[in-house]
Amino acid sequence: MSKDISSSLSGWDYDPDKVSVRIVEGDDGRDKIQLRIDLGLLQMEFDGRPDGKRVAGGSTWLDYYERQQKKHDAEHPDGPPFLLETEDCQNLLREGVQYYHRYVSFWHLERFELCARDTNRNLRLFAFVRQFARHTKDKLQFDQWRPYVTMMHARAVATPLLQLRDSVAALGAIDAAIEGIRDFLREYDQTHNAENCSELVYLERWRDEIAEKTDGSGGEEPYNPLTRLQAELELAVSEERFEDAARLRDTIRRHSHGPDDGSPESL
């Protein structure tokens, strides 16, 4: 069997202005996720570690270090605390990046429940490192991403709820994320910079848009995917992700001129 991946890439050109991801059947009969990158592709498993490996006698590094922490505390109840060294944190960081690639892929595949599963996993990772890393620099290497992953988790939870027209539950998920990001800002004495936190601004604006559509009796307008696209566009512009912004503008323009009845197409 040839190891050349050219056949896998044939007809699937890399586009720097969009996230290109697909689901394929693997040689083992299980579905795989493939994410197109400039020089090839990333292939990931649906479950467990995205690379399919089992490490340190367990499924993931996070599972391993959590077991080590519980074992240490049980054996040394009055001793020094369990601590993660920099090398341990690097193992966890590399693994966390794999989960990042996968939850972004799930988001673009609209597999929202799986996106939420992986974002929740990385938030658990951040909390574990925050509690047990010996060095502050290691903690910050993870925790700097907490607002972004919190926002992505809220999107993955709330979007399907909105599609089901359960705005109350969706607003609950968004409110929890807003409070989580505010907690983050308080922890780092950055509440004065709240208006510069693009994730917080995005979620608050999204929440207001949903609330405006829900009247006092609980009725609401049909879910409009263009609202989500517009919010994503505003976030992309605020973060200076101009290639993403251009792609979103094209998508909004395309769907705004869809069916003759003026309603947006399903996304």
Residue with tokens 């994730």: 199
Supply the CATH classification number for the domain 10-213: 1.25.40
The domain limits of the chain are 10-213, 226-254
3-state secondary structure (DSSP) of residue 11: coil
pLDDT given at position 259:
41
What's the start-to-end Cα distance of the chain, in Å? Answer: 38
Name the more confident of 265 and 28: 28
**Looking at 91-105, 106-120, 130-144, 224-238, which range is the least confident one?**
224-238
pLDDT confidence bin for 260, thresholds 50/70/90: very low
3-state secondary structure (DSSP) of residue 102: helix
3-state secondary structure (DSSP) of residue 62: helix
**Mean local confidence (pLDDT), 14-24:** 93
pLDDT given at position 252:
75
pLDDT confidence bin for 217, thresholds 50/70/90: very low
pLDDT given at position 202:
96
Sequence-ordered list of residues with C-beta below 8 angstroms from that of 195, at least 6 positions apart, any chain: 201
pLDDT of 220 above 60: no
pLDDT in tens, 165-210: 999 999 999 999 999 999 999 999 999 999 999 999 999 999 999 9
Predicted TM-score (pTM) of the model is 0.79
pLDDT given at position 236:
64
Sequence-ordered list of residues with C-beta below 8 angstroms from that of 137, at least 6 positions apart, any chain: none
The DSSP string of 120-143 is HHHHHHHHHHHHHBSSHHHHHHHH
Sequence-ordered list of residues with C-beta below 8 angstroms from that of 134, at least 6 positions apart, any chain: 83, 84, 85, 86
Tokens matching residue 109: 């595949």
**Looking at 25-39, 62-76, 154-168, 207-221, which range is the least confident one?**
207-221
pLDDT in tens, 25-57: 999 999 999 999 999 999 999 999 999 999 988
pLDDT confidence bin for 111, thresholds 50/70/90: very high
pLDDT given at position 100:
97
Please state, in angstroms and rounded to a whole number, the distance separating the CA atoms of residues 119 and 151: 9
Nearest Cα to Cα of residue 147 among 107, 112, 111, 190: 190
Please state, in angstroms and rounded to a whole number, the distance separating the CA atoms of residues 126 and 56: 20
Question: Number of C-alpha atoms within 13 angstroms, CB side, residue 232?
Answer: 20
Name the more confident of 265 and 72: 72
Percent of the chain whose predicted confidence (pLDDT) is above 70: 83
Please state, in angstroms and rounded to a whole number, the distance separating the CA atoms of residues 153 and 107: 10
